[in-house]
Structures are given as structure tokens and as C-alpha cells.
Amino acid sequence: MRVLLIPYDNGMLVNYPPLNLAYVAGALIEEGDDVEVYQHDIYHSEDNLRQHLQGDDYDVAGLGACAGYYQYQQIQRLCEIIHSECDAQIWLGGHLVTPAPDYFRERFKASWVCQGEYDYTEDLDSLPFPAWDLFNIDYYALMRLPHADNSDRCFPVLGGRGCPFKCTFCYRMEKGYRAHSIEHILQEVSVLIEDYHINYIDFADELLMINPDRPVQIAEAMKPLGIKWDCNGRLNYAKPEILKKMKESGCVFINYGIESVDDEVLELMNKKLRYDQIIAGVEATLEAGISPGLNIIWGNLGDTKDTLWQSVKFLLKYDDHAQLRTIRPVTPYPGSPLYDYAIEKGLLKDIGDFYEKHKNSDLLTVNFTGLSDEEFHRELWWANHLLVDAYYENKLDNADNAMEHLYSLGDTNFRGFRQT
């Protein structure tokens, strides 16, 4: 079978490496299929794709997408182009299509919709490695992550799949958590280091810190490698002794899904996290010398103007500006309990209605608060105005300090403002 896999443009200079398609490619090659990758990004026009499709005889064109309206639009457009230029079957996968395979099969005239992690694979180590040799690693390694230097080459590794928690806003439909063995992870990381000169690993697990033991095991494995890494974490496991080992092994950033600093809202979203745990974990992370990614969403059940400004106050106090951090409205993506709630309460009709209303992840799709849509967006505007101002004030202070070190101390390491 001749298969063309198409990573699509996500609207960035450097898109996140397509882990889904790389794993699919590895599995297809192991089965003896002929696999090719066409990178459709801002450097390749639709005409380039049309010419490529016309130039060969493919049996299957494969696309994968995470949830979001931008991704919905991209997949829809790519399906239209594929149908117009060749007779290949279209196979779809990813979080976008998993909750409603029949809808997307009909909507995009796809031959098959793979439900991904919904189709359970117990032994992750039995899966082939991602077929990164088919992808432009030099392009993807240019993605910038927190505390990445200009010379760093960054790349993701998937150490585990799924999550043991069941937050109401989460649309991922995996059945529990499964982990690769430490030996398997080290083997994959070693290939990336030796063959592609990667020196910053982004652990793409939805949650690496699933318990107190897992991050320690990863840290002990990564320490001899002497490279940077980051991960997604959970604040009730962010203990000083764990964070110390992570820092010593090269961890520079932990992305935390906080979502709210109000205990009532946290309980309503089934977060299994308390405000006192959030504060203790963030302070311990900063004390360890690791940057915390502080993710907040607003507009969930129980949210008010007061809970928004509690979050703003929290971010202004604890955010170390390793990334530009703003607050987004909660979105009830299909597959999430919050989507089911919206359907039950008549706030949404069906998945088609969701994609009619969901146009941007920074705008309301469904309003679960007592505020009007106009009031909601006005409050969010002012909140994010303060957060953006604080971020760029920090950048200005850093630039001022760099000039002081340059001109007062003769800092020969300064590379010029245009370089930074």
C-alpha cells in the first residue's frame, strides 16, 4: 500500500513535530507499506500540494489533528484538495476526530477514521519507534521552548500516554495511563542525540508527573545525558525532594495545568487539586530553580469576576515570564464531560453546532457564567492586558540589565539585540 502522510501548517514559523503521524509511519513501515511524508506548512502553497498529489499514485492520504477550530479548518481544506487531485482514500486520526468518527467521516468524505488512543494498546514498548527519518528534523528542531538557547535543538519524546485524572474540560478519551519503560525512553532519546544532535527533550506526555515516582525515574535516567528537558507536571506531586532531582538532571521547565485558584471551581471541574497544594507546589518549583508554566482557564462552572481576578493576582505574583502567559476561556470540546453538560443544558445542539460556534480558542464558545458574552470578553481583555504588560515589562528590564552589563562591565558574551 502506498501511503502519503501530510503534516499540516499550524500557523507558526516552526510547527510542533507531528508525533501522531511519525508513530503511524513507523507502524505502517513495519507492516511493509510504502510511506512518504509531504510537509504542508507556510513554506509550501496549496499549488505545491496539488502538484505533489498529481505526480504520484497514492492509495491512502493520512491526516491527523488535535482539537480546535483552526485544525478543523485545515483538515477540511486538505481533504477538499486531496479529493480534487487524486483518488486516494483519506484516513483521519487524532483528538479532533476521535469523539465523533461518523460526523467527520461524512463531513470530510473520509474512508476511515482512526480513534487513536481510544483503541487501546497496552504494551507501548511493543510499538515501533516514530519514523523520524521521513521527516525534516532540522526544521522541527528549531521550535523554541522555555530556556532554549539559540543553538539548542529541541524535540519531543512521548514517555507515556493518557492520564489517570478525569477533569471535566478534558476532551482526551484515553482509557487510563500507560508508560514506556525507562529503557525504551533512553533508547529513543539516545537516537535523537546521536543521529539528530538534539540537546533539549520536550516530554510530550499529557502528564509525566502521574505520581511521585515517575519524575524521579525520568530524572535519574536523564541526568547522565547532560541535556535540557521539560515536561507536564502536577502540583500536588511538586515536592522539594522530587524537584531537586529533576533540576539536577537538566529539567528547566514544568508545565502545570492549574486552571483555577478557587477551590470551589477546582472541585466542580474534578481537578483533584487544592489551592494550598497549588501555592506550595509553585513555590517549591521556583525555589528549585525550575520555571513553572502556570496555565489558567476561566469561564468554568462556578467562575465569576472575582475568580478571574484571583487568577490574575496569582499569575502576577508567581509567573517568572519564561513564556507569555495569558488566561483563556474554557472550551467544551467534544469528548469532554463539559461538552456533554452543554448538550444536556441546551447550550449546544450537537458537534456541528459546536464547530459553528467555536471560531477561536481565545473567544467564548459556550458561556457557563452569569455574565453576558460582552461582559465576559471585556473582563478577560483587561485581565490579559495586565498579564501581557507584565511580561513585556520584564523583557524590557532584562534588556536594560543586558545593556548595563555590556557597557558598564564589558560583557563580551553579549550577542547584539537583533540576535535576541
For residue 120, the model assigns a pLDDT of 62
Cell numbers describing residue 187: 533508547
CA pair distance 65, 333, nearest whole angstrom: 14
Is 236's pLDDT higher than 90? Answer: yes
Output b/e per residue, 260-294; b: 16+ Cβ within 10 A: bbbeebbebbebebebebbebbbebbeebebbbbb
Q: What percent of the chain has pLDDT over 70?
A: 98
pLDDT, residue 14, reads: 78
The tens digit of pLDDT for each residue in 166-186 reads 999 998 877 788 999 999 999
Instruction: Report the percentage of the chain scoring pLDDT > 90.
Output: 84
Quote the pLDDT of residue 405.
86
Query: Span 141-409: which CATH code?
Result: 3.80.30.20
Q: How many CA atoms lie within 13 A of 191 on its CB side?
A: 13
The DSSP code for 127 is S
How many alpha carbons fall within 13 Å on the CB side of residue 13? 4
Interval 76-85 mean pLDDT? 96
At 178-216, the pLDDT tens digits run 999 999 999 999 999 999 999 999 999 999 999 999 999
Distances in Å between the Cα of 109 and the Cα atoms of 38, 84, 103, 105, 341 are: 21, 12, 10, 5, 29
Query: Considering the entire predicted model, what is its pTM?
Result: 0.95
Q: Are 301 and 339 in contact (CB under 8 A)?
A: no
Alpha carbons 405 and 411: distance in angstroms, whole number: 6
2-118: CATH topology is Rossmann fold (3.40.50)
Give the cell for residue 20.
501522531
Q: What is the pLDDT of residues 361-399, one digit of tens each?
A: 999 999 999 999 999 999 999 999 999 999 999 999 988
Compute the half-sphere exposure of residue 38: CA atoms within 13 Å on the CB side of its CA: 24
- Which pairs from 117-124 meet CB under 8 Å and 24+ separation? 117/161, 117/162, 117/172, 117/173, 117/174, 117/175, 118/173, 118/174, 118/175, 120/175, 121/178, 122/178, 124/160, 124/161, 124/178, 124/179, 124/180, 124/184
Quick check: 126 and 26 in contact, CB under 8 A?
Answer: no
Q: Where are the domains of the chain?
A: 2-118, 141-409
The Cα–Cα gap between 187 and 156 comes to 14
pLDDT at 412: 82
The predicted structure's pLDDT at residue 55 = 82
* Residues 171, 95 contacting (CB under 8 angstroms): yes
**Torsion angle of alpha carbons 369, 372, 378, 381, nearest 10°?**
40
For 253-296, the pLDDT digits (tens) are 999 999 999 999 999 999 999 999 999 999 999 999 999 999 99
- pLDDT of residue 41 exceeding 90, the answer is no
At residue 418, the pLDDT reads 66
